[in-house]
Amino acid sequence: MKGKQKALIEAKAKVLKALGHPTRLWLAEQLADGEKCVCELAEPLEADFSTISKHLSVLKEAGVIAGQKRGKMVYYRLKVPCILKYMPCVEAVIEAGIKEQAELLE
Amino acid sequence: MKGKQKALIEAKAKVLKALGHPTRLWLAEQLADGEKCVCELAEPLEADFSTISKHLSVLKEAGVIAGQKRGKMVYYRLKVPCILKYMPCVEAVIEAGIKEQAELLE
DNA sequence: AGGTTATTTGGCAAAACAACCAAACAAAAC
DNA sequence: GTTTTGTTTGGTTGTTTTGCCAAATAACCT
């Protein structure tokens, strides 16, 4: 694996890793139908604001979301919405696993 | 976020997280056009066999790949091939980030 | 200015992860 | 049946990640 190839795969892994945490995936999914401010995002999650803020910054750092400050609120949005189009396939992976386990019980 | 919803999002995050490591993403991509044995996969990666084996087991645990033993070799394959169809979108995220940085230099 | 609200940052302890080594297994070859 | 080959498991160590707290910042309100 050479330099350029390696850099690309590392960049891709970073994006996937950013989404690879339940809280962050949930946050990204909340942005599916438009931007939301941190307060809207944080409310349903029973976690510290600082925790949410850090998760958002991981997503931002990975290039998944972007934030814009308006007034005293910060609004986040998906930068590349196709990122959520993947979820049906991810769910298919999970379903395949469940199906397999069910077959073991037969 | 209730129990069932939570379990689903955790399962999805687990899949994404499994792919969220350069070595594991590379391994998954190697399986795009059919199964390969561990030895074939490990050879180009200059890492310990045990390291590769553990990465493969993370992918297996997440339901991304499945292994089958034939003779003394173990052959791994993608369980749900659509998992790689996502990469163009992931690349789009990276490109958007690069483009943005370029604009800063103008 | 001083106070309040929304969000980020820094610091810290606990938990999870990654990579290596050595040892265990399992199937094949001798 | 012992050795060799391919792969996994267990153990260790260093690094990274998480999540909470307290403090800092930033913009609005009075």
Whether CB of B15 is under 7 Å from strand C: the answer is no
Q: What pTM did the predictor assign?
A: 0.94
Contacts of B65 in chain A (CB under 8 A): none
B87 lies in some domain: no
In a domain, A95, yes or no: no
B1: confidence class by pLDDT, cuts 50, 70, 90: low
pLDDT value for A103:
86
Nucleotides of D under 7 A from a protein CB: 5-11, 17-23, 26-28
Residue with tokens 């561990």, as numbered in its chain: B38
Q: Is residue A87 in a domain? A: no
- Domain around B52: 3-80
Does residue A1 carry a pLDDT above 80?
no
Position A32 in a domain: yes
Task: Tell me how far CA of residue B67 lies from CA of A105, B10, B46, in angstroms.
Answer: 20, 23, 22
Q: Are residues A83 and B91, on separate chains, in Cβ contact within 8 Å?
A: no
Confidence of residue A82 (pLDDT cuts 50, 70, 90): very high
Q: For residue range A43-69, list pLDDT tens digits in order.
A: 889 899 999 999 999 999 999 999 999
Flag whether A62 is in a domain: yes
Q: Give the total number of structural domains in chain B.
A: 1
Task: Report which residue type is found at A99.
Answer: K
User: What is the rounded distance in angstroms from the CA atom of residue A75 to the CA atom of residue A66?
Assistant: 8
**The pLDDT of residue B2:** 66
- Region label for B71, one of left (φ > 0), alpha (ψ between -120 and 50) or beta (otherwise): left
A15 belongs to a structural domain:
yes
What is the number of residues in chain B?
Answer: 106
Contact B94, A63 (CB under 8 A): yes
Q: Is the pLDDT of residue A2 over 90?
A: no
User: Which pLDDT value is given to residue B77?
Assistant: 98
Contacts A92 to B, Cβ<8 Å: 80, 82
Residue A60 located in a structural domain: yes
Residue A99 within any structural domain of the chain? no
Task: Spell out which residues of chain A touch residue B68, defining contact as CB-CB under 8 Å.
Answer: none
The CATH number linked to B26 is 1.10.10.10
Q: Which of B4, B15, B43 to mutate to test the interface with A (most CBs of A within 10 A)?
A: B15
Give the mean pLDDT of A58-83: 96
| pLDDT tens digits for range B47-81 | 999 999 999 999 999 999 999 999 999 999 999 99
- Find, among A61, A70, A78, the residue nearest to A39 by Cα: A70
